[in-house]
Structure 1
Amino acid sequence: MSVLIAIPARFASTRYPGKPLVALKGPDGEKTLIRRSWEAAMAVNGVDRVVVATDDARIRDHAEGFGAEVVMTSSACQNGTERCAEVAAALPGFDIVVNLQGDAPLTPAWFVEDLVQGLQADPEADIATPVLRCDGRALNGFLADRRAGRVGGTTAVFGVGGRGLYFSKEVIPYTGRVYADDEPTPVFHHVGVYAYRPEALKAYPSWPVGPLEQLEGLEQLRFLENGRRVLCVEVTARGRQFWELNNPEDVPRIEAMMAEMASLG
């Protein structure tokens, strides 16, 4: 099956304007967030094409400068899924379209590979998205963010066969206890990557924004609110730390994670 990865990137972020062009210092020097996200996409096996999807000339010029292919999309896109739908319309013929969000440079290649394999193996699923079981360290980080009034990671709950039940920026399910840093927990971090079947992706922009999507600000809830099957694919970190860049405070956290991964080889 042919696979396209689209990396949505917009300059006018409400919480963090200009986020795709923010520089991140790593063991390999200083590179922008969008470049590190593109490099993460290029490391995925079994992908036929990788493009950056943006409506901003500054992001386009920068991305083309480091060798990325860019597809210009409408400024009316409300989220990355709508932006990916425009890419799929402009570049038809792919069996699976992957949305690797431009704020997730630490996404391991096997997350995307496992995701594509999961969608291929479940013909009833309309989209697939990876979930990562939190250890105590990650869960405590989520809880600390919420206590401080920051939007941290998204959590997911799912049923038999990995069928997604709900996604939230709150920490769900409620656990009622404290976990040690290296202890597994029943909370799953939703990793902001999606693999769509083209038909579901084409239909998505035609659906109105529902109350749950509006409240949570989570684009994947539109699929659930319209009765589509969302497959949650459990992935493993293999010792890697993972975090999206949601707020300016996340920059030193991600830089520290990159340094830690480099020290582990």
Structure 2
Amino acid sequence: MKPYSSARDEFQGDAQVMLDANENSLGSAGPATFNRYPDPQQRAVKAELAKIKNVSGGQIFLGNGSDEAIDLLVRLTCVPGKDSILILPPTYGMYEVAANLNDVAIQRLPLTADFQLSDEIVAGIIASDAKLVFVCSPNNPTGNLLHGSAIEEILRGFRGLVVVDEAYADFASAPSWTTRLAEFPNLVILQTFSKAWGLAGLRLGMAFASPEIIGFLNKIKPPYNVSEATQQHALAALAAGGILTICATTCWWAVSGWPSVCRQ
């Protein structure tokens, strides 16, 4: 597929005006720079984020919330009316919504009574012909981390992409799976600015994967999927080190599944 391409994708250097974009040269009704289209690849944000996450910019995808990455991953890998994804209920409801929107079947392997991955569940995942398995850890809505050894076994045995959703990773003591990206070419990690960063209103989600997978996501995303305002606010938060400091010894998961956070 040939992706949509603008001059901002193709141009190397610094240009204040892109005549092909037909931007309003008289300025904006809002902030001064808002009359220009944003960087479609969000290079400045990715460069700062790469320093914090200890990954390369080519391993980062940014989208309109994690929900955009979920939808794009389903569309990238699944043929409508033919392929399926695999989910582990109870879990985040958007995986199922994205599958239904794209006419993709859903395989379900419920977690154990204590919301964990058993040997039987892992074996079922590995034997599945699904194109994606969504592994939410810490899980939403149960709040617990899934066993890392079980996730590693899935990564080594499952034939499709393993999507580890870490929206709540900043509230957990375990290291992020972004530290294992080099080991697993089929690994995709989802994170968000909505939770510990306290920026849910920005609608900015992150996906981390191999440069090849990120390249495919960039190929099929809308041209300007992250606004200039969102990029500016994200840069300001990254510069300020805006993530909440979490006191792991005293924070606990409430019965409802939502985290109690200690601000320091």
TM-score by length of 2: 0.29
Higher percent of residues as strand: 1
TM-score by length of 1: 0.28
Instruction: Tell which structure's C-alpha radius of gyration is larger.
Output: 2
